[in-house]
Amino acid sequence: MSMFCFQCQETAGGTGCTRRGVCGKESEVANIQDLLIYLCKGISIFSNRARELEIENPKVNKFIIDSLFMTITNANFDKADFIRKIKEGFEVREEIKRQLEEAGGSITDTLPDCATWYAEDEADFDLKAGSAEVGVLATQDEDKRSLKELVTYGLKGMAAYTEHAFNLGFENPEIYAFMQKGLALIADDYLSADELVGLVLECGKYGVEAMALLDKANTETYGHPVMSRVNIGIRENPGILISGHDLKDMEELLEQTRDTGVDVYTHGEMLPANYYPAFKKYPHFVGNYGNAWWKQNEEFEKFNGPILMTTNCIIPPRDSYRDRVFTTGTVGYPGLTHIPDRKPGQAKDFSEIIVLAKKSLPPVELEKGEIIGGFAHNQVLALADKVIAAVQSGVLKKFLVMAGCDGRMKSRQYYTEFAQKLPQDTVILTAGCAKYRYNKLNLGEIEGIPRVLDAGQCNDSYSLAVIALKLKEVLGLDDINQLPISYNIAWYEQKAVIVLLALLYLGVKNIHLGPTLPAFLSPNVANVLVEKFNLGGITNVDDDLKLLLA
């Protein structure tokens, strides 16, 4: 075994990647990612002590969210980036220690290795990264390991959303405090399994906070998403394809490509940018090209122009288009050009991408037509009268929340079939890249309400919760579980973990999670989730339809 990672749904054999990731992550990268998380735990021990003395260090806060985000599945494959980050972490650690000491706090008593270790060069890093005390398997007890990793993955998802909000100038110090508290608590082995369960649930609470913060950041900056028909065809100009979740990058790219003769298209999780009023004013913003992340190999090849990856999911690029892929933010891949972070008060500089676009051929047409979306909370609540009338008259019997992620596995065909077989009196509520399994099926509408309501990116699952809570209020129900809503959620990476924990925190029960349950849930931890929340997996379309429509 040269690594151990089981954080995503596609983990090898449904148990763990041990030699190389199914995602393409090399063992050296997997190990150094673990080492970065290890360092984050150590820094958090100091920053928690400092916080008790009312010291808040913005560098620590930013370092922790960056680091957690970098280790999300399909975000960064570049070992050099992690080495740089760890070196930065040592400096951050020194600074917070200094502040703590100056304020009279202790920087010596009962410190675990993660708070004290240091390494100089790459060989030392490798040695440490591969050692037994670092990484998932360092926790011997299977259930504690499971709970600690559940917290860690929840924090990674939370960090991603917090980072996007940060990029738009929105912060919530309570989220930072919780992240660092969580990391410090799981650094050691003194929490009981019950206490760890408590921490998992608290993680859900801050998951809601992080999604609410990002919702506020996105909507206050770019307006509330509105019902939109998004072009999925092409035009004659060369184009730039932008993927990932970061709307600030989207805005700056649109600004810089204005009047250049270059068009802009979204891919994957950037599709919902098409729903925001602020982006509709750009005539060169054409629409969406292609599908979910895992089809990028073929689709990037056909796009012909440059591609900008603002977040996960990037997959190892083929040589045929590798020269055209640019990374930015937390994304990294060896050999690809990285667009540096913005300097204070300035925009990122996308000129290199634009120069390349001008020399590129226009995209090859993949399909024609339009898809509909933009049903975040504000838009759905604007249609509330219609929706409630449809529910009360019985023409709309059930909502199915099918949010989450898409992935490569053949078994995900289940979601297409499930959507196709749903009766006409049902509506799908979705968010995240899971939607690509059914958003082009033309499932029709119910009295003007489309049968697939896409709220946006995975973080916009928050909208689905807002909608559910509003429906509960209007229908005069006491419990969110009395609503005519069933949950059939698809997961892949760690953002889906925080979405799940957030839903559990909001009291949602009977969630079905597929296509497989996480490998990081030990049998006992899975049982706790079944007992407390009636969480379940999926079986086959026909049986699940019966169950979920009952």
Interface with ligand SF4 (CB under 6 A): 5-8, 10-11, 17, 21-23, 25, 30, 73
How many Å from the N-terminal Cα to the C-terminal Cα in the chain? 46
Name which position in 10, 78, 493, 544 contacts ligand SF3 (CB under 6 A).
Answer: 493
Query: Which of 230, 295, 293, 214 minimizes the C-alpha distance to 265?
Result: 230
Q: How far is the CB of 116 from ligand SF3 (least distance, A)?
A: 35
**Positions 4 through 33 that interact with ligand SF3 (CB under 6 A):** none
388's enclosing H/E stretch is helix 384-393
Q: How far is the CB of 252 from ligand SF4 (least distance, A)?
A: 29
- Nearer residue to ligand SF4 within complex by CB, 68 or 247: 68
Query: In the beta sheet, which residues pair with residue 486?
Result: 400
- Is position 161 an interface residue for ligand SF3 (rule: CB under 6 A)? no
Record the tokens describing residue 105, joined without a space: 């706090």
- Is position 433 an interface residue for ligand SF3 (rule: CB under 6 A)? yes
- Nearer residue to ligand SF3 within complex by CB, 42 or 154: 154
Name which position in 457, 463, 488, 522 contacts ligand SF3 (CB under 6 A).
Answer: 457
- Is position 432 an interface residue for ligand SF3 (rule: CB under 6 A)? yes
- Nearer residue to ligand SF4 within complex by CB, 46 or 491: 491
Q: How far is the CB of 434 from ligand SF3 (least distance, A)?
A: 7
Single-letter residue type at 327: T
What's the rounded Cα separation, in Å, for the pair 179 and 6? 21
- Nearer residue to ligand SF4 within complex by CB, 138 or 227: 138
What's the rounded Cα separation, in Å, for the pair 466 and 518? 26
The SS3 assignment for 487 reads strand
Contacts of 117 (CB under 8 A, 6+ apart): 38, 39, 42, 128
Task: Give burial (CB, 10 Å; 0-12/13-18/19+) of 393.
Answer: exposed
- Is position 249 an interface residue for ligand SF3 (rule: CB under 6 A)? no
Q: How far is the CB of 311 from ligand SF3 (least distance, A)?
A: 7
Record the tokens describing residue 260, joined without a space: 């250049």
**Residue 405 binds what, of ligand SF4, ligand SF3, none (CB under 5 to 8 Å, by partner type)?**
ligand SF3
Q: How far is the CB of 407 from ligand SF3 (least distance, A)?
A: 7
- Is position 313 an interface residue for ligand SF3 (rule: CB under 6 A)? yes
Q: How far is the CB of 492 from ligand SF4 (least distance, A)?
A: 9
Q: How far is the CB of 293 from ligand SF4 (least distance, A)?
A: 13
**Positions 263 through 292 that interact with ligand SF3 (CB under 6 A):** 268-269
**Residue 6 binds what, of ligand SF3, ligand SF4, none (CB under 5 to 8 Å, by partner type)?**
ligand SF4
Query: Which of 242, 178, 180, 241 minimizes the C-alpha distance to 210?
Result: 178
Query: Which of 434, 400, 466 minimizes the C-alpha distance to 208?
Result: 466
Phi, psi angle pair for 488, to nearest 5°? -130, 85
**Residue 212 binds what, of ligand SF3, ligand SF4, none (CB under 5 to 8 Å, by partner type)?**
none
Pairing between β-strand 398-401 and β-strand 426-430 as defined by DSSP bridges? parallel
CB 471 within 8 A of CB 484: no
- Is position 499 an interface residue for ligand SF3 (rule: CB under 6 A)? no
DSSP string, 511-529: EEEESS--TTS-HHHHHHH
DSSP 481: G
Record the tokens describing residue 305, joined without a space: 């122009």
**Positions 59 through 78 that interact with ligand SF3 (CB under 6 A):** 74
**Residue 21 binds what, of ligand SF4, ligand SF3, none (CB under 5 to 8 Å, by partner type)?**
ligand SF4
Query: In the beta sheet, which residues pair with residue 514?
Result: 490
371's enclosing H/E stretch is strand 370-373
- Nearer residue to ligand SF4 within complex by CB, 12 or 55: 12
- Is position 329 an interface residue for ligand SF3 (rule: CB under 6 A)? no
Residue ranges binding ligand SF3 (CB under 6 A): 74, 268-269, 293, 312-313, 405, 432-433, 457-458, 492-493, 495-496
